[in-house]
Homo-oligomer: A and B are copies of this chain.
Amino acid sequence: MDFGIEKILKISELSEQTGLSAHTLRYYEKHGLINASNRSEAGYRFYNDSDLRRVQFVKTARNTGFSLADIGQLLSIRVDKRSHSCQDVTDITQKKLLEVSAKLTELQSMQQTLELLLESCCGGPENATHCSIMEALDAGLLRDDNKEARIIK
């Protein structure tokens, strides 16, 4: 067990520890994600170790791609793990993975199109009257939302 003396942090110190701005910390609090378990008489927020760990959890989840709404759900599991199952956790994670994968597919298609466009154009200083990129955009033969990426050579 760690019986080290608990460090109490003010918001700017928590900000420093976590890399999240004080504004963002207050914003997260307003949205029910985090809290300062104590306040000074003057109303200053005081964060203890447990508060800090919760904020770090939020930050890690955020970096992993979860939305604040997702994180709200993950946090409610976190505070009462006994009432939730691994499946509850994987449901959230799986949903996020599907979102990310979908976006990835879309971006990969865009990337491919942009690469093809760049390959087709000389990129030189002569005027753009016969620029193949402009022609391709004019022809409308590039990827459509539903269809596969395709470009006519």
Contacts and interface: CB of A to CB of B under 8 A. Distances in A.
A53 interface: yes
A69 to B, nearest CB: 16
Interface residues of A, number: 58
Interface stretch (A4-12, A32-40, A41-49, A125-133): A125-133
Q: Copies of this chain, how many?
A: 2
B65 A122 contact: no
A48 B128 CA distance: 24
Interface of A: 53, 56-57, 59-61, 63-65, 74, 77-78, 81-90, 93-94, 96-97, 100-101, 103-104, 107-108, 110-111, 113-115, 117-118, 121-129, 131, 133-134, 137-138, 140, 142-145
